[in-house]
Structure 1
């Protein structure tokens, strides 16, 4: 066995003799190496493993494979659909002795039938929360493929990012219906309290002890603090004021929302679109009718500049919108005349260029700022030389927030006294509501992992968080709800 850390060896030992499992390890703790070594122990000549990962990490998985398990042959199924299918055909006709086919989650939608026809000995779902919604095509494809695999594995830092109901699809895929109740509605009726309109909304949780007991035998969990000797993570909030022009546009959007609601014409899609507009205005811009952005005098940018002037070390800045990112890059590079040299990564950069820019930022002391959209730079990058992460705006997703933070909170960051996470929030706006929602989701996710670990009081915290979701006039229990209803 290669030189592994203690928790990686414990993970392999935990799953010895088992055919499925969930590796609940934070990003940056080496869960990829652990699963590769586990697979290597079990594989015979002629067997093939399907490894599904986020697109930006495909080649990193291949590199980890070459480093830790040289007996396995990594094959990255990337590029056009035609190229992927050609690689699959070659894999079926003339496979290497031990093949590890690495594909992104999007391919589960586009070439699901072809993937299912190959015949895999094992399936690995890396960052399995991409399959938390049982209704999506990629979740259905993963379920189809898993039925014919001798072993099935999932990996994530948090199996639950919104609520306990997230876990059903993930554990159903790896357990083939043998870990949790095989029917989603039976699962929901057992562990969720329904309320709201027509009792279609999860408002609280019940039987939490039973839920944790069901997933614990199939889940290996360790906190990042247990895995690595890392510095403390410190959170800071910087409140900023919107300018009068921002408030004018912001209140107009709010009024438009109110009118639609009062008239009964507000749809979920329209509400989400208006929320995005509110978040854009709070971030410092709004799109005109012709699709071009109009920018405001934004105090957030001034606050970021002040932070850069008073902070030592490298800083990673995440944005939620392309126009916001481009405006910041222009301000840092042109308005400030290169005072804070900036490396920027965009969705248009190919994998090799992203790696080059990452290396430039990490190795060049002159490059102080790394700027990117949270969906682009929030995964697959190691930015451990930076000791400060700034969210110029926040995404709604807990997963995106945690992934972005952990670009700087991983092996290598022990060189810092602390890693500081700064959230720039426009005062009295949707920013504050998004930040609060992220904090609440994080509490639930942490409590689930602690429950698997057997931490005292974790189950009580899950119940308490579940009760906090329920409106005061919502019924707490519905024991008479028939199975399959809702």
Structure 2
């Protein structure tokens, strides 16, 4: 292919010429990454030896072509622009405000647009948020913007005398883990005089600021919170930049209160996750950036939050949907004055090979299912489930208000209240968090509920009693109720459904030279996975909270540069910031998090600029467990974020409404948290229900009279499914669908392999569930005579919030 042809491929997206910070939303990149064929990957397992022999003689032609094509793309792409300044100010402005040529020539086009956006806010003497996806260079854009404002030149060794006196100083507040990164980026890109106010570097910092003409002060969130009076009262800040600004989502936190004390109006937030759990988080963040820009808190709640949440309810009346559309359009138009939000697909998507996000529902092992059901039957959980049932003593009160407020015969309750036999003020809702934690542990691996030798003796004794009761007659099957010290026992995948699937998938990936990132939230789960990797003979690196900060970058560099390193085992909590693992093209998230941002950040460790291959993500969920509810809530939160922030059109899957006791639906409330989902395809049922409602059938679907899975495995129409989709259908539904393959024998072999070996009962691509379409226009105007009635309904809903019981508050606080 000629050089001119490659340049045509790599030319900037057409929407980039349009002002990205205008109220008009850019058209998203229509390209979708190709779907991988998991069934083909699985077939490779049948003749590993043959393929290894073939690989030793010649590389696969198709893979070689893809690698060479990716290499050529990156070689042809030259991020260096013309060596000329980027003028920001209008003609006639004196002095001229411009990004120096030494910085501008190294910026990508979307980064130049980001600098222009920040400068336009600065001219208006107001703040804003740069909300680009992680990996798009928000730090660099902020430094380029500051360099223009302070007339810095990257070629000048020291700033001209007197420049620092023209404007006030800049305060940067960020996580402690990226302080050194900020300092390093300033040294690479500009000539600011930078100081750090953190740890032992605090001593005498104010004297240094005055004597040495320090222009940039970098501090951490915790340091600023503790020393807020010194930093906000003793110094006048021209500009304040908060990195990872979503940390300001909670208006009741000490950090938020401390940041409100900053006097300057030029407050800028950098974050790729503007909203994580609730729409009110959006208000809190913007109310700090632009005080009063979204009105009062109560106005925002009644005018925006309640209509948007209730308009997204699956059975919401059409009028409510119309009002929600109208409010969404208005909210987005206001936000876009202070927010610039871009994704990788919209900016550098044409320079990357794409990403595919697969959500895989793995069947739990038989012993896992039995233990999970026993857990739901313990007195502690039964007390929570039956909290609203009339008390058996004959009292008109509910159980939770009468005899069953405490659980002396419980498995967990007595330990929590060993110093207070009468219980606490929150009983029995104090059991919610411990019970949810235990259910998640069972869903991941049975060893997690056994006593931990690192715990206190009292807790070990309690956990031993708990494990012996849950294992019951399966005690010998799981190797006793004490922690398994056997290497072979811990690395065995027989009793863990997700590890069984992971073993087969990794065999295929490793065979074909893929590099894998393996994430888990639990350090104990990382220990088990580590023994599994050792048993399989894979070369791996590991990073968790115990890894010294100074060693982390060397581990990353070694993994990226070493062909022998096959797997990187990472704690989701430790891998949130600063890890660029672009050599990996397979990402596995072993356990989901209630906060969707954590899982998305884990994916972006690999999918960022510099990635040369197509990235495939696998989120492993235990089918029929609490993890399905965790993922459904992730979908709910992502959809609300897309609606409120970007004005996207989202499918209305769920009946539940967050923070609304009257519409808990299938997502919220105690009954849903501790529901037995073992006989259901929970997520599949919700999606299939939406498909049925959204499709007009010429004749009604005839439901089967057999097992519940038979009717839920289909959507009511005769579809031709690809191999990829067919191999993930539940067994009872496969006969309903013709197979889109000329070789039925081959397709049946694939289906059987997935069903028997992997135990995958259902899967989908997250991109197909979460809408990526923009659309803020209301199809039909709300009639004037009906608008007051609809608005009154929303006000009533808002007033009902005061009647929520304590469990909603406790659970919500934890889930955030």
Provide the TM-score with structure 1 as the length reference: 0.86
Report what 1:394 is aligned to: 592
Q: Is the 8 A contact 1:32 1:61 kept in 2?
A: yes
State whether structure 2 residue 113 is matched by structure 1 residue 10. yes
Query: Of 240, 249, 273, which aligns to 1:123?
Result: 240
Cross-structure match for 1:172: 287
Q: Distance in 2 between matches of 1:89 and 1:345?
A: 37
The answer on 1:232 being equivalent to 2:331 is: no
For 2:797 and 2:366, the matched residues in 1 are separated by: 54
Using the alignment, how far apart are the partners of 2:450 and 2:584 within structure 1? 33
Cα 1:110/1:248, change in 2 over 3 Å? farther
Partner of 2:650: 461
By how many angstroms is 1:443 displaced?
A: 2.7
Q: Secondary structure at the match of 2:164?
A: coil
Shift of 1:24: 1.3
Distance, in Å, in 1 between the alignment partners of 2:278 and 2:574 is 25
Q: Which residue among 151, 161, 164 is the counterpart of 1:45?
A: 164
Q: Distance in 2 between matches of 1:84 and 1:253?
A: 51
Partner in structure 1 of residue 44 of structure 2: none
1:105-254 correspondence to structure 2 within 5 Å: 105-117=221-233, 118-145=235-262, 148-177=263-292, 179-181=293-295, 183-193=296-306, 206=324, 207-228=327-348, 229-254=351-376
Shift of 1:268: 5.0
Q: Which runs of 5+ in 2 are unaligned?
A: 1-99, 151-162, 310-315, 387-398, 406-426, 452-458, 465-481, 485-489, 664-788, 803-816
Any idea what SS the aligned residue of 1:376 has? coil
Quote the offset at 1:15 in angstroms. Answer: 2.9
Task: Please give the alpha-carbon distance, in whole angstroms, between the structure 2 residues aligned to 1:445 and 1:386.
Answer: 29
**Larger relative strand fraction:** 1
Does residue 281 of the first structure (1) align with residue 442 of the second (2)? yes
Q: CA deviation digits over 1:139-172, x for unaligned, max 9?
A: 1111112xx1251101122312223211111111
Q: Does 2:528 align with 1:327?
A: yes
Match of 1:71 among 191, 194, 197: 191
* 1:283/1:24 CA distance change after superposition, 3 Å: same
Corresponding residue to 2:130 among 20, 23, 28:
23
Q: How do 1:384-463 residues align onto structure 2 when only pairs under 5 Å count? A: 384-413=582-611, 415-416=612-613, 418-451=614-647, 458=648, 460-461=649-650
Alignment partner of 1:375 out of 564, 573, 577: 573
Q: Deviations over 1:375-428 (max 9, x none)?
A: 101322001111011011111111111111101111011x10x21110111121
Q: What's the CA shift string for 1:185-239, capped at 9, x where partnerless? A: 232122122899xxxxxx9994222221221111112221122122221122333
Match of 2:431 in 1: 270
Partner of 2:691: none
- Greater shift, 473-482 or 278-287, is seen at 473-482
2:383 to 244, 251, 259: 259
SS of 2:195 mapped into structure 1? strand
CA change 1:331–1:250 in 2 (3 A) is same
Query: For the Cα contact (< 8 Å) 2:376–2:382, is it kept in 1?
Result: yes
- Partner Cα distance (1:261, 1:84) in 2: 53
**Per the alignment, do residues 90 and 400 of structure 1 end up closer, same or farther by CA in structure 2, a change over 3 Å counting?**
farther
**Which stretch has the larger CA shift, 43-52 or 431-440?**
43-52
Number of residue pairs the alignment of both structures matches = 458
Contact 1:71 1:98 in 2 (8 A): no
| Aligned 8 A contact 1:374 1:395 in 2 | no
- In structure 2, do the counterparts of structure 1 residues 238 and 222 end up closer, same or farther at CA, with 3 Å as the change threshold? closer
Q: Partners of 2:616 and 2:224 in 1: how far apart?
A: 37
User: How far has the Cα of 1:6 moved from its partner?
Assistant: 0.6
Equivalent residue in structure 2 for 1:34, among 99, 121, 141: 141
CA contact (8 A) 1:129 1:159 kept: yes
Counterpart contact for 2:194–2:214, Cα < 8 Å: no
Cα distance, 1:85–1:98 mapped onto 2, change above 3 Å: closer
Bigger shift: 278-287 or 469-478?
469-478
| Structure 1 unaligned residues grouped into runs of 5+ | 197-202, 452-457
Q: CA deviation at 1:325?
A: 0.8
CA distance in 2, matches of 1:434, 1:443: 14
Give the C-alpha shift of residue 329 in structure 1. Answer: 1.2
* 1:479–1:88 CA distance, 2 compared to 1 (3 A): same
Seen in structure 2, the aligned counterparts of structure 1 residues 231 and 445 have a Cα distance that, compared at 3 Å, is farther
- The answer to whether the 8 Å contact 2:636/2:654 transfers is no
The answer to whether the Cα contact below 8 Å between 2:360 and 2:619 also exists between their aligned partners in 1 is: yes
Given the superposition, is the C-alpha separation of residues 481 and 427 from structure 1 closer, same or farther in structure 2, using an over 3 Å criterion?
closer
Contact 1:21 1:154 in 2 (8 A): yes
In 1: Cα distance, 2:268 partner to 2:308 partner: 34
Map of 2:203 onto structure 1: 86
Aligned-partner Cα distance in 2 for 1:267–1:93:
57
Shift of 1:331: 2.2
Which whole-Å CA distance do the structure 2 matches of 1:130 and 1:72 have between them? 26
Structure number with greater Rg is 2
Q: Distance in 2 between matches of 1:108 and 1:249?
A: 47
> Within 2, Cα distance between the matches of 1:89 and 1:97?
9
User: Quick one: structure 1 residues 482 and 38, their matched pair in 2 at CA, closer, same or farther if it must change by over 3 Å?
Assistant: same
Partners of 2:221 and 2:118 in 1: CA distance: 25
Measured in 1, the distance between the counterparts of 2:430 and 2:231 equals 33
Instruction: Determine if contact 2:265/2:290 at 8 Å carries over to the other structure.
Output: no
Q: Is the 8 A contact 1:158 1:445 kept in 2?
A: no
Counterpart of 1:25 in 2: which secondary structure?
coil
Q: CA deviation at 1:251?
A: 2.6
1:191 and 1:211 in contact (8 A); partners too = yes
Residue 318 to residue 480, structure 1, CA distance change in 2 (3 Å): closer
Retained in 2: the 8 A contact 1:8–1:30?
A: yes
Structure 1 residues 297-352: Cα deviation after superposition (integer angstroms, max 9, x where no partner) = 3232232222221013210011011110111112212x23xx21110012122322
Contact 1:280–1:321 at 8 Å: present in 2 too? no
Normalising by structure 2, report the TM-score. 0.52
Alpha-carbon distance between aligned partners in 1 of 2:638 and 2:795, rounded to the nearest angstrom:
31
In structure 2, how many angstroms separate the alpha carbons of the residues matched to 1:302 and 1:257? 29
